[in-house]
Structure 1
């Protein structure tokens, strides 16, 4: 009898975890699709409005999960320590991720990416900043780190939880160039959440990376950084970004280690 009860508990926990993996992403995608097809709104605006509508619901579910873990949502959403390092890390990862995608030539061979890029970067810059730069990262971090990563991490190792959540984050973007870039950001965001225990940390990382990416794409920086005729400039910026990434990771790691020692 005891074994049967334990087995049932295990099955219930597995179902709960699966729901955490599927439902938030499903409702977010469903709302975006409805706004795009039925209203209809432009793709970026539809995604931004969907994110805005889903954030309160996602916050409620995240708060509920945090209470079950014995943690406070308020504590998790408070401004993270090492804020400057997190912002710089997001910016550096933006450069490294985009450079990796360009070196592999993924943007040139992916028609799906070209269609997505047109939808993302054709609206007014102010809308891009508001939607892609601020609102969408909050919703995505609530889904992929606050619910998916955290729920897997409750039962499994950090490495498995980070890889699965980052992999789903990459697949969600629907094309290889953005998928590779999102996977890199997702792994780092999961590590930040693990180290700081604050969801605000990966949110800030995501916002930083997205805003810099928007500025690069909408200005002449794109031609300067990712064209073969400027290979020397690109190499210097990539090396600098790598150094900044390493320094920021070390600073965040040791600062949070010190905080744990004090506590």
Structure 2
């Protein structure tokens, strides 16, 4: 039980603690602090994950086989990004959270290249090590798939610190937990997470943001949400079939 608690709590607090120290003492923006913290923490987190994988008799810790799913993972990340953002927009949660506005300012204040490097590539790698590599995997050692996925996705949502991002992160968290379960490699969740973040950054920084929000037209947003959800389902089916999963995950 102590080991499980350490896997669930310690990595998250370690990463956020280093981010906070950097933010408060180096007088840098929150996104810069989170990215620098990722660079500092990732080697240690990977060491712990690699050790855990050896105890599970899994080597290498992260294999590179995607079984022809690379394109579908990219498309799934794109579709889930659009779906999650449409759900948040239709619910109106993005207009009632001050913490969400502060988080948006922290992410989108730096230049686009910095956003892409930090939020698009560096931070997702560390978050996947924490929430899938350490958190979900430790839960999965003890529980069946569904409770492990829901608990790790819930922690991922809570970690974001506000309701709009929390809902979006929970949706993504369920998807990447399933993807990790199916592919048995952390590479797949990392790719999906990176793609979802990149799409979100590009959409927000371009005219696509207004197009996808449908100028706050609920009908248009509902159609976009349904289409993106159907695309997600098709990708999930293709990924499942390509990995030829034969065991019952539930």
The TM-score bracket by the shorter chain reads over 0.9
Q: Which has the larger radius of gyration?
A: 1
**Residues 182 and 245 in structure 2, CA contact (< 8 A), matched pair in contact too:** no
Where do 4+ consecutive residues of structure 1 move more than 6 Å? none
Deviations 1:141-166 (A, max 9, x none): 00000000000100111111101100
Deviation, 1:245, is: 0.6
1:216-252 Cα offsets, whole Å, 9 max, x none, are: 1111111111144655654443333122111100001
Whole-Å separation in 1 of the counterparts to 2:83 and 2:44: 33
Structure-2 residue corresponding to 1:245: 232
Structure 1, unpaired ranges of 5+: 1-13
Cα distance between partner residues in 2 of 1:31 and 1:127: 20
Q: Does 1:80 align with 2:66?
A: yes
Which of 193, 217, 227 aligns to 2:180? It is 193
Q: Which residue of structure 1 aligns with residue 154 of structure 2?
A: 167
CA displacement at 1:112 relative to structure 2: 0.7
1:224/1:234 contact within 8 Å kept: no
Residue in structure 2 matched with residue 37 of structure 1 by the alignment: 24
Question: 1:132-147 alignment to 2 at 5 Å?
Answer: 132-147=119-134
Corresponding residue pairs, total: 246
Contact 2:90–2:221 (CA<8 Å) still a contact in 1?
no
Q: What's 1:61 paired with? A: 48
SS at match of 1:21: helix
- Which secondary structure state, in structure 1, belongs to the residue aligned with residue 142 of structure 2? coil
- Structure 2 regions of 5+ residues with no counterpart? none
Q: TM-score, normalised by structure 2?
A: 0.94
- RMSD over aligned CA atoms reads 1.6
Is 1:129 aligned to 2:82, yes or no? no
